[in-house]
Amino acid sequence: MSGSKTSATSVLLSGGNPQIAKADGDQPVQAYIAAMPDWKQAVGRKLDTIIEREVPGVTKKVRWNSPFYGAGNDTFFVSFHCMTRYIKVTFFNGTDLMPMPKETSKSAGIRYFHIPEPGAFDEEQFADWIRQAGELPGIKI
């Protein structure tokens, strides 16, 4: 529901994506995850935990109502966003991952990984993609 309130300080945009102000660091990313609706919140926590585990020292920020994760030098390798029926994980250099995430993009190099309700996904494969992505050059945000 567009404009639905999830708490006193967060609003859900169309597709159920939390509206979170642009900011750097872990705190705004955690605010985004806390505002994710229903089953998506548990998946968001799991994604964040796996990313932190697989890329020690990962940097974080929120831009365009989505959390971004980087490996330094203000470059970022992955992001995710709540859609109506799934969470869309964006790998900015996804065409360099093996195996490549299934969902294609019109943008060169980008591949998507969709996590549908109820939120079950291959965590081992995701962790492997995160390890690979964290070693590739990221994109400047």
| Distance, CA of 3 to CA of 96 (rounded, Å) | 37
What pTM, to 2 d.p., does this model score? 0.90
Instruction: Kindly tell me if the per-residue pLDDT of 6 is higher than 90.
Output: no
Check which CATH number belongs to the domain holding 49 and give it: 3.90.1150
Kindly report, residue by residue over 8-50, the tens digit of the pLDDT. Answer: 357 888 788 999 999 999 999 999 999 999 999 999 999 999 9
Q: Which range of residues forms the domain containing residue 41? A: 4-140
The domain tally of the chain equals: 1
Q: pLDDT digit string (tens) for 75-87?
A: 999 999 999 999 9
